[in-house]
Structure 1
């Protein structure tokens, strides 16, 4: 039996109430999935609530779902990881965000670093941020999470480091050993991933001064979009739910 598709719609769900799907989700349901009246859906609000629903209207102009049951969503990790990811070009950043969400990350901040070659300003930054948030929501639809992690506006690395207060703070650094075996399970963690050219030595020193511990992922150098996948998998295996 085909599983009901999961659709992110930020709305107040009430049993028996109708939810008019916004343009994007409506187009996806009616034109891409080609669902008709009577088809089941799972709606989630992005803040932790899910609704079992059924389509009561599915035209090219309007798509409406009727809520049949509301419940708390599942799939959130017991350790809340804030990922600081150096901004990468093109699809690499999308990949890093998508996989980080699948691996249970709680928040993501794109970072401007010394060796990073992406600089966004004004409208271009706003559009890119909206795109990244949509990538996170789409990843939640796929992986079963009901909470969409927030993608924060990009900021300089130093600002992000100064704001960190997580119980466990890790910076990837290829020249050092592991830092996971000698700490108790934290409720919160911060993970810093550098750009393709790596973090500058002063940036690493600033991270260490901000309470970050160095973490190596082995003898091979990983791409900037691969590193968060491996590091988050290790964190979830050691402290989370993998």
Structure 2
């Protein structure tokens, strides 16, 4: 069933008001009528079955019939992908959100070919937020991910706290031949592991089409980043992001 997004501030008791684009879509495109039932979500884990009570192109007033609350995920999956050109970045965001990424911070790296000023960055983030919203609706998800303004690579790694309890920073690099995700998580689960397996966050860094530079990889070492390879094939950046996200969620039994 198609879902529709509601702002939490528009949930009052057993009444939910659907506004803006979602209201116009319900009224003008789908031509919903009073008495029909639809499914809505609040972006924070709540999914509601509701009945239309009043409807026009500006607001749809509904009554809650039932609610399902999804618990917080076991850990936050935060993706840091290098910014890609136009449709490639759109595709990347759509697919990782469908999989369940909770937060996305686009990166500006040495080999990034897309450069955005502050106005263009805000415009892009607005576009990506709409893509993320549609991806959650399409996949039947309950949580709307946070999409941040782009950060310079150095600023991004410095903002992460490598000493946070249960936080792990992984950087995917095609020249890494020793570490792979399966072996990493196998070691992590070992009773002899020195890493706390009570994960609170996993931060995944994905490079641009020209890869991370050796200087950038070297820079991450003092922040306890773990370089990870994705096998013998050279993957496109958007493919690498999807594969890495899928494998991490699978290894953590969080692939829905």
Q: Give me the TM-score of the superposition, normalised by structure 2.
A: 0.85
**Equivalent in the alignment of 1:65:** 61
2:232 is aligned with 1:234: no
Which structure has the highest helix share of the two?
Answer: 2
* Structure 2 residue aligned with 1:79: 75
Q: Give CA-to-partner distance per residue, 1:65-94, whole Å, 9 cap, x none.
A: 313246353386423111101001111111
Q: How does 1:87-98 map to 2 (within 5 A)?
A: 87-98=83-94
Query: What do you get for the CA RMSD once the two structures are aligned?
Result: 1.9
CA distance in 1, matches of 2:55, 2:245: 39
SS at match of 2:51: strand
- Which of 218, 224, 228 aligns to 2:231? It is 218
Map 1:173-184 onto structure 2 (within 5 A): 173-176=173-176, 177-178=179-180, 179-184=184-189
- Spell out the pairing of 1:116-195 with structure 2 (5 A cutoff): 116-165=112-161, 167-176=167-176, 177-178=179-180, 179-184=184-189, 185=197, 186-195=199-208
- Number of equivalences: 237
Alpha carbons of structure 1 residues 156 and 206: separation in structure 2 relative to 1, 3 Å? same
Q: 1:108 to 1:83 in 2, by over 3 A?
A: same
Distance in 1 of aligned mates of 2:49 and 2:24: 19
> Contact conserved, 2:52 with 2:63, CA < 8 A, in 1?
no
Contact conserved, 1:76 with 1:145, CA < 8 A, in 2? no
**Aligned equivalent of 1:30:** 27
Q: Which residue is equivalent to 1:7?
A: 4
Unaligned runs of 5+ in 1: none
